[in-house]
Amino acid sequence: MQSLVSLYSFTVVLNALLLQGILIYLVRGGRNAYLNSIMNFKKPKSALARYYAWRTKRLLHTVIEGIVFQLALIGSIVVILYPRGGFQLMLDLLAITLFVVVLSSISSIQMIMRVREALKKEGVILKQIEDSEDRIDLIRRMVEELYQAGAYADGHAWFALFKIAQQQDVVGWSVRDVLMEKSKAIAERIDSHLSEIGRKPDSEKGPGIQ
């Protein structure tokens, strides 16, 4: 019996890791697909992109996702254990079951908190734009500050701006126009830099054989 408990303890942990891995894959894949869409000013079309758009639209959606995941985890454990040992095996493995459920709950809470921070930033930026008398100037300053910050820029702010740009209203159109304007400037800077590299004289490349 002890060997059976040990075997299914390992199975429960492996099952939890597998389900957690699937969730992380879906979230990351959805994030990448969604970001690729909105950063190119396109409406998300793929299933993963639409899923990520849904989960980041409202905090409640991420909470629902966490609850569904926990129910799926508990249900999968019951499916694994009950047919093989009934309630006795489930009771024997109650401690390990609670352990993996608590760990997965912590992971879900962390995801919820990240979405909460992103939505909070979006709300602040959206209110600032809506209350501003000169929306375009404000948005330009926001984008320029983020651009100048480079790698140190607030990722939540960038995400919020591109997300707001999806709105089909005056605010969304204003943000989209500024972001498209800045995207063009970034592309021109890169092209200029590459051209300068190509125009460098041979003498700058270091000594050579005459």
**Residue pLDDT tens, the chain, 210 long:** 556 667 778 888 999 999 999 999 999 999 999 999 998 889 999 999 999 999 999 999 999 999 999 999 999 999 988 887 778 878 888 888 999 999 999 999 999 999 999 999 999 999 999 998 899 999 999 999 988 887 788 889 999 999 999 999 999 999 999 999 888 777 666 666 556 655 544 444 433 333
Asked whether residue 59 is domain-assigned, the answer is yes
The CA distances from residue 201 to 99, 192, 204, 206, in Å, are 65, 16, 6, 10
Taking only Cα atoms into account, the Rg of the chain, rounded to an integer number of angstroms, comes to 25
Q: Is the dihedral of CA 71, 74, 80, 84 positive or negative?
A: negative
pLDDT on residue 148 = 87
Asked whether residue 87 is domain-assigned, the answer is yes
Asked whether residue 145 is domain-assigned, the answer is yes
Q: Which residue range(s) make up the domain with 147?
A: 2-197
Asked whether residue 209 is domain-assigned, the answer is no
Q: How far apart are CA 73 and CA 116, in angstroms?
A: 24
Asked whether residue 203 is domain-assigned, the answer is no
Q: What is the DSSP string of 112-168?
A: HHHHHHHHHHHHHHHHHHHH-SSHHHHHHHHHHHHHHHGGGS-HHHHHHHHHHTT-S
pLDDT on residue 210 = 36
Structural domains counted in the chain: 1
Asked whether residue 117 is domain-assigned, the answer is yes
Asked whether residue 48 is domain-assigned, the answer is yes
Asked whether residue 207 is domain-assigned, the answer is no
Q: How far apart are CA 129 and CA 21, in angstroms?
A: 39
pLDDT on residue 3 = 65
**DSSP designation for 201:** -
Task: Give long-range contacts, CB 8 A cutoff, 24+ apart: 22-30.
Answer: 23/69, 26/51, 27/52, 27/55, 27/111, 30/55
Q: How far apart are CA 24 and CA 104, in angstroms?
A: 11
pLDDT on residue 172 = 92
